[in-house]
Amino acid sequence: MSTAKINPHTPSLDWEVLESPLFYNCPLTGKNKEAGTRAFINSQTGGLISSKMTGQYQIFSNLDFVSLAELIADEKGIKISHYTTSKGGKKVLVAFERPDQNFEIAGFPIESHLILMNSHDGTGCIEVGENHKLHRCNNMFASTMTRLKIFHNSNMNNQIEALKFQIMNVEASIAEELDTISTFANVKIDSAIIEQFKINWFGDFQDSEPTTTMKNKMLRFDQSVIQEVGQLGMNAFGLYNAVTHYTTHNFLKTGSCNEKDFPIFGERASMNKEAFSFCAAL
C-alpha cells in the first residue's frame, strides 16, 4: 500500500493504513486458520487501528484523503488550516479556514472551520462538518447537525466524486444551526434546569456516592456554569456556553484542550450535542 507524501500540510498524516488477515488457533488441528476479517495497522507506529474489519470495508487512504482535501481547497478557494490524527490513526481530519464567511451567535463573532473527517477503524465514515470557536470566550463546539456522509462500501468512490461538488453547499444549514443557538439567549432557565442537565449527563447520585474522579468532573463543570451563566445570564445560551466552556477549558483536569483538538469525536462532542438538544427542547 502506498504511503502519504510528505508536504508542509501533512506531518501528522505521513503514514498509511496497512491491512493484514486475522488468524486464530484451531483447537482441533493446532494450526492457525484465517478468521475472515482484517486487521488495520498504523504503518508509522505499528499500532493496531482495528481488528474487526470485514472484507467489504473499503479503505480510503491518507494519500487519497490529502489529495481530496487539496483538491477541495484549490477548487473552492479555501485554505487548509491543518491536519490532525486522532487515537493513533483511528480518525483523521483536515480543517479548512473560511475567512470570507462571517458568522456570529447572539451578536458574538465566531471563527468557523469546515472539517473533512475520515475514520479508519469502522466506527464512522467520511463526513463533512464544522467546528466553531466563540471569540468572547474561545469556547469550541462542533456541528450537531449531519452534513455529508460517505460510507466505506463499494459505492464509496462514486460518492466521493459527488462530495467534491457538494462540500461547500452546507452554509445554509450551518446558518440555521447558529440561528437556533442564538435563540437560546431568549429562553429563561433556573437552577433546577441546570441541575437536570447535570443529572442527565453525569448521573443521579442520590442513592450512591460518586467517585472522586466524577466529583472533580462535576466540580469543574460547576466552575464553567458559574463563569458562563454569570456573564450571559440565567438563560439557555448561558447553559450552552457553560457546557462548551467545560468541554473546551475544564474537561481535562490539566486545563484547556489543545486548540487543534476539536471536540468532534468522543465524550466532549457527545456532551456538546446533548447540550444543544437539551437547550433546543426548553
Domain ranges of the chain: 11-53, 62-180, 182-280
What confidence category does residue 243 fall into, taking pLDDT thresholds of 50, 70 and 90?
A: very high
Percentage of the residues of the chain whose pLDDT score is greater than 70: 89
Q: What is the per-residue pLDDT for 21?
A: 79
Q: What is the per-residue pLDDT for 144?
A: 57
Are 4 and 94 spatial neighbours (Cβ–Cβ below 8 Å)?
no
Place of cell 470495508: 57
Strands 126-134 and 139-142 come out as antiparallel
3-state secondary structure the chain: CCCCCCCCCCHHHCCCEEEEEEEEECCCCCCEEEEEEEEEEECCCCCEEEEEECCCCCCCCHHHHHHHHHHHHHHHCCEEEEEEEEHHHCEEEEEEECCCCCEEECCEEEEEEEEEEEECCCCCCEEEEEEEEECCCCEEEECCCCCEEECCCCCHHHHHHHHHHHCCCCHHHHHHHHHHHHHHHHCECCHHHHHHHHHHHHCCCCCCCCCHHHHHHHHHHHHHHHHHHHHHCCEHHHHHHHHHHHHHHHCECCECCCCCCCCCCHHHHHHHHHHHHHHHCC
Which of 15-19, 24-28, 162-166 has maximum average pLDDT?
15-19
pLDDT in tens, 120-149: 998 889 988 888 888 788 888 877 555 678
Answer yes or no: is pLDDT of 153 > 80: yes
What average pLDDT does range 225-245 have in this prediction?
96
Q: What is the per-residue pLDDT for 2?
A: 39
Question: What's the predicted TM-score (pTM) here?
Answer: 0.79
Are 38 and 122 spatial neighbours (Cβ–Cβ below 8 Å)?
no
What average pLDDT does range 34-38 have in this prediction?
71
142/157 Cα distance (integer angstroms): 26
- Which segment of 84-98, 169-183, 208-222, 232-246 scores lowest on mean pLDDT? 169-183
pLDDT in tens, 156-197: 999 988 887 777 667 677 778 889 999 999 999 999 999 999
Are 85 and 16 spatial neighbours (Cβ–Cβ below 8 Å)?
no
167/177 Cα distance (integer angstroms): 17
CA 91 → CA 99, 241, 246, 247, distances in Å?
26, 27, 23, 19
pLDDT in tens, 248-268: 999 887 777 665 667 777 888
